[in-house]
Amino acid sequence: MDVGLAAFDMDGTLTQGRLVFALAERFGLAEKVREIQASRVEGHLQTKTIAALFSGITKTDLENAVESIPLTKNAERTVAILKEKKCRVGIISDSYTVAAEILMTRLGMDFVAANLLEILDGRLTGRVEMPLGWEKIGCFCKISVCKRYHLEEQARRFGIPIERTMAVGDTKSDICMVQRAGVGVSFMPKDDMIAKASNNVVQIPDMLRVLEFAA
């Protein structure tokens, strides 16, 4: 399989932590965030409620939280190798653009799809612009960023057939893109659902391992 476009989840996949928790812990909101995520409410509505909790936090605090999260081993090298092969590489995340864009620039990637936190006068307003997409294609995920929809969008944008795409993720929010991609990879799966979503599973915390499936 000659992969022409690779989409990575961010939290827990390209990075070793989750931005939403790094941020919540700094402001004593971790318990509240966990409660919201454990609820049965649809994913996109959870994202809205969590963003509202962050109202008033400064852009600098947000950027510091981003910088505190370490990259997964060999994430940079993996992206560089894919780029050398003329592969388009990007992030599809249900976290926030502020983090995904910092990472995109650092790793020299081509695209990002993520939630946009509204910032006014240097502070989060508590509002969030969600790219969604599931409502357009009837995807089951109903989360703030339907990763399948955005994988298809980026493949179309760069003229890469879906059979030549790779998607890498670690939680159930990644299932719809991992199943849709030509090569779907469950990287260090955090739940049963994503572990079963693909035959390609990486259980070693080294991003270079995903290239075995992209060769």
| 134 scored as a contact of Zn ion (CB under 5 A) | yes
Q: What are phi and psi for residue 112, nearest 5 degrees? A: -140, 135
State the number of CA atoms in the 13 A half-sphere of 140 facing the CB.
8
Cα dihedral sign, 32-45-152-195: positive
SS3 211: helix
Between CA 213 and CA 215 the distance in angstroms is 6
Closer residue to Zn ion in complex, CB, 150/209: 150
Selected from 22, 36, 146, 160, the binder of Zn ion by CB under 5 A is 146
Closer residue to Zn ion in complex, CB, 23/139: 139
| 178 scored as a contact of Zn ion (CB under 5 A) | no
Closer residue to Zn ion in complex, CB, 75/178: 178
Closer residue to Zn ion in complex, CB, 144/200: 144
Q: How many residues bind Zn ion (CB under 5 A)?
A: 6
| 150 scored as a contact of Zn ion (CB under 5 A) | no
Do residues 31 and 78 lie in contact, with contact meaning Cβ atoms separated by under 8 Å? no
Interface residues toward Zn ion, by CB under 5 A: 134, 139, 141, 146, 148, 176
